[in-house]
Amino acid sequence: MNKKSENMLKAILSEGGEIATKTVQQDDVAALAQEQGLAFFMADCDKARNCSAILRALAKAVDYPVFFGSNMDALLDCLGETLLDQKKGMVLWIKSLHSGDPSLEEDAKAIQGVLNDTLEFANSKDRIFVYAIEHAGKHSAPEPGVAPAPYAESKD
């Protein structure tokens, strides 16, 4: 990572906001977050083919309880409670969100809205919330005759 990108990233990590994933790597963000005392969470959404699966991946990433409600209000509560559990704040890296899938396009926008609401909440509670979304295109088509594995059966 070049010095300019590192300085930009440090500024975001000290104030909160969205990280552009095209300019930085997840490992670099995780290391700088740790240096600044921020918790780092990564949610792998690669296998998520619907909103419920994305929400489960996000709740699992932050180790939120099983009784997660699986809607946008529940996601806001999940992120807000997780944020308040942190001494200084948190970074949420969303890996491979298939926002290019027509079935996930609107859900991806709604999730972005929840992340922005969490950012506002963090500011009101003197916490730092930073997020990054690795947008991916459509899921690849399943092989003929082979159904995709359900998200719940995916391996960690």
pLDDT of residue 3: 87
pTM higher than 0.85 for the full model? yes
Any idea where the domains of the chain sit in the sequence? 3-137
Please state, for a pLDDT cut of 90, what percent of the chain lies above it: 72
Strand partners, 90: 39, 129
Classify burial at 139, counting beta carbons within 10 Å of its beta carbon; exposed 0-12, middle 13-18, buried 19 or more: middle
Would you tell me which CATH number, out of the four given (3.30.365.10, 3.30.70.3420, 2.60.40.10, 3.40.50.300), belongs to the domain 3-137? 3.40.50.300
CB-side neighbour CA atoms (13 Å) of 86? 28
pLDDT in tens, 114-153: 999 999 999 999 999 999 999 987 767 666 777 666 655 5
